[in-house]
Amino acid sequence: MWLMRQAGRYLPEYRAVRKKLDFLTMVKTPEIAAEITLQPIRRFDLDAAVIYSDLLPPLQTMGLDLHFEKGVGPVIDNPIRSTKQVDLLATPPAGETMPFTPEAIRLVKQELGDRVPVIGFAGCPFTLSAYAIEGGGSKKYELTRRFMYQEPAAWRRLMDKMVTVAGSFLGEQAKAGADALQVFDSWAGVLSRYDYERYVAPYSAKLIAIAQKTGLPVIHFSTGTAGHLDAIAAAGGDAIGVDSGPSLREARERIGDSRPLQGNLDPYLLQAPWRELKAQADRVLDEAPETGHVFNTGHGLVPATPPDAVARLTDYVRERTSRSA
């Protein structure tokens, strides 16, 4: 199975829209989000569509002032710095505050029917909390870890609130017709195994359990967690996403072969000569478990990715997996 998240973000059609509108406006306008979701499906022979959205809009509904700055990324003007701020965070139902992504899913499903499944997603509690505390991205997440260690009770309350908001958002996407759900823990790799298991895993497990109550398969994806992929897997998920760090063989040794894996081609390889890209695609396919594999990059594509490379790789993976089926 072939899936390329963000495959459409660097097509000329997307760039033309991006010049006119800011990111959050596109995410919150269902017709635009649906069109951007559909662009890579029209261009490439993909097996699934990932709804055009972002991890962070749920933070706005909680009372955090989020915006995106060009060349910087997400910025929160009132980051969490105290336990009182945690207690003041709202947890409104996503159906009331974030109708735009479910509506985009409905529009995409109307266009695609049963031809291509649609994947919805949300951020894991730790990644959402890290953004909320740091006020944006960070290299070391020092403020987050300091808050986690110094205010353990407030940390638990914060993580539970993130579970509530993200779980509600996933539920609305399921009601709108999503065929699968994915949870992203983009920053879990900054933690030690011990800290992950103590401060994070219980809340990821809660979120995944909520998502699984929809009856949809749930993909659990994290980055930088090669050393404790087994702990990631223990937190739950019907399939486990693997970034570009470990090989799929290493991932299988840590997780076992009981669940499908997703990944894990280095996205920068799509800028490499075809001989290298092909060789590494073959390596990923050769290491894929028999229990199932979603061929994917280990993270989102980068702006310099040539669309023709995506098309060629997609066609090659399609051809090779069809021969071996």
CATH number at residue 195: 3.20.20.210
pLDDT the model gives residue 302:
87
Full domain range(s) for residue 162: 12-324
In a domain, 4, yes or no: no
pLDDT the model gives residue 80:
98
Quick one: pLDDT band at residue 22, thresholds 50, 70, 90? Answer: confident
Instruction: To the nearest 10°, report the CA torsion of 79, 85, 88, 91.
Output: 50
Q: Mean pLDDT check: name the lowest of 84-98, 164-178, 193-207, 249-263.
A: 249-263
Amino acid type, 313: L
On the question of pLDDT at 109 being above 50, the answer is yes
Which pTM value belongs to this model? 0.92
In a domain, 7, yes or no: no
36 or 13, which is more confident: 36
On the question of pLDDT at 6 being above 60, the answer is no
Contact 223, 186 (CB under 8 A): yes
Model confidence over 175-216: pLDDT tens digits?
999 999 999 999 999 999 999 999 999 999 999 999 999 999
In a domain, 259, yes or no: yes
Amino acid type, 175: K
DSSP-derived pairing of the beta strands 49-50 and 66-69: unpaired
Distance CA 39, CA 2 (A): 16
Helices 30-43 and 307-324 pack at an angle, to 10 degrees, of 60
First to last CA, the chain: 11
**Cβ partners under 8 Å of residue 262, min gap 6:** 3, 219, 221, 239, 240, 241, 242, 293, 294, 296
Residues catalogued as catalytic: 5, 9, 18, 54, 131
In a domain, 299, yes or no: yes
Distance CA 102, CA 37 (A): 13
pLDDT the model gives residue 71:
80
On the question of pLDDT at 4 being above 60, the answer is no
| Number of domains present in the structure of the chain | 1
**Length of the chain in residues, anyone?**
325
On the question of pLDDT at 9 being above 80, the answer is no
pLDDT the model gives residue 72:
86
Quick one: pLDDT band at residue 303, thresholds 50, 70, 90? Answer: confident
In this prediction, residues 129-138 reach a mean pLDDT of 95
Quick one: pLDDT band at residue 1, thresholds 50, 70, 90? Answer: very low
In a domain, 48, yes or no: yes
In a domain, 5, yes or no: no
